[in-house]
């Protein structure tokens, strides 16, 4: 009998052992297989593409990328992580009392249809988020039973048990950065901000803490991402003002 395993390596045909995590953004898609219930990086990459397309072409590009890689469509338990700045956070208890919960989002982004808004609940907070028209229904058809996740909420869920102190987590990418401010295990703020120079990142850091009156040196600063020079410059600057500044490797 033939086996999909080679040299006693992982058996990727055993879909019960693996979880498929698909990250989709305005700029590309990444899909990998992870050991279930593990925070380890992907053991096998199934799909990785970058692109520069218009808003009108984005859904077609996502669909073509997935259909051109049929291994992504195997019967794995799936999480679909949507990376988008068009994300808002609302206390879940307040959202549940609203007759039209989507209005929290459409009052800000009034060109978005309610049926295109995705939702994720974590720790008493709800993320409402949107990337492009028609994406939610396409993903629901293509990955039945998959969990839709906001990339900002996913990071909050990862970091929220980090201690009782105030903590700011900054994930730096080439043109933007996620800033997630947590007090204890409560979300204070989460957003994606544009930047061009390390000075922009420092401004974002101090402005966010100032808005919430949390600018004391006891605030912990945690930085990660894929732009080593900017990360190093930001950390060096932040260490002049904060007791704890830590650079983490990108998972």
Task: Please provide the average confidence, as pLDDT, over all residues in the chain.
Answer: 91
- The pLDDT value recorded for residue 43 is 85
CB atoms within 10 A of CB 110: 7
Percent of the chain with pLDDT over 90: 77
| Assigned CATH class of 15-85+118-155 | alpha beta
Q: Which 3 state secondary structure label does DSSP give 124?
A: coil
> Taking CA 30 as the corner, what is the angle to CA 27 and CA 31, rounded to the nearest 5 degrees?
155
Q: Is 7 exposed, middle or buried (0-12, 13-18, 19+ CB in 10 A)?
A: exposed
CATH 3.30.420.250 residue window(s) in the chain: 15-85+118-155
Q: What is the mean pLDDT of residues 201-227?
A: 93
Residue 25: what pLDDT? 96
Looking at 74-78, 170-174, 213-217, which range is the least confident one? 213-217
Using CB atoms within 10 Å of the CB of residue 244, give its burial: 0 to 12 exposed, 13 to 18 middle, 19+ buried.
middle
pLDDT at 83: 96
> What residue ranges of the chain are covered by domains with CATH 3.30.420.260?
161-247
Mean pLDDT score, 134-157: 96
CA separation for the pair 45, 47 (Å, rounded)? 6
* pLDDT at 9 exceeding the cut of 80: no
CATH class of 161-247: alpha beta
- What is the per-residue pLDDT across 18-67, written as a single tens digit (0 to 9) for each? 999 999 999 999 999 998 877 777 789 999 999 999 999 999 999 999 99
Q: Average the pLDDT over each of 2-11, 84-93, 155-164 and give the range with the smallest value.
A: 2-11
User: CB-side exposure of 52: number of CA atoms within 13 Å?
Assistant: 0
Residue 14 pLDDT grade (very low, low, confident, very high; cuts 50, 70, 90):
confident
pTM of the full structure? 0.89
pLDDT at 67: 96
Using pLDDT thresholds of 50, 70 and 90, give the confidence band for residue 217. confident
């Amino acid at each position: 009998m033939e086996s999909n395993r080679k040299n006693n390596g992982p058996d990727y045909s055993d879909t019960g052992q693996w979880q498929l995590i698909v990250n989709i953004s305005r700029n590309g898609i990444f899909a990998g297989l992870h050991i279930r219930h593990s925070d380890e990086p992907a053991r096998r990459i199934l799909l990785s593409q970058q692109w520069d397309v218009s808003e009108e072409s984005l859904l077609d590009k996502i669909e073509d990328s997935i259909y051109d890689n049929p291994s992504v469509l195997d019967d794995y338990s799936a999480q679909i992580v949507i990376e988008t700045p068009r994300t808002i956070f609302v206390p879940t208890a307040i959202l549940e009392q609203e007759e039209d919960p989507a209005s929290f989002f459409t009052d800000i982004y009034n060109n978005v249809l309610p049926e295109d808004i995705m939702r994720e609940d974590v720790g008493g907070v709800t993320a409402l988020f949107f990337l492009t028209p028609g994406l939610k229904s396409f993903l629901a058809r293509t990955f039945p039973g998959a969990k839709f996740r906001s990339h900002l909420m996913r990071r909050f869920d990862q970091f929220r048990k980090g201690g009782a102190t105030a903590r700011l987590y900054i994930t730096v990418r080439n043109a933007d950065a996620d800033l997630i401010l947590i007090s204890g295990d409560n979300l204070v703020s989460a957003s994606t901000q544009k930047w061009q120079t390390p000075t922009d990142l420092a401004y974002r850091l101090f402005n966010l803490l100032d808005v919430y009156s949390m600018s004391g040196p006891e605030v912990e600063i945690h930085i990660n991402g894929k732009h080593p020079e900017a990360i190093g410059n930001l950390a060096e600057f932040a260490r002049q003002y904060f007791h704890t500044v830590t650079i983490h490797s990108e998972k």
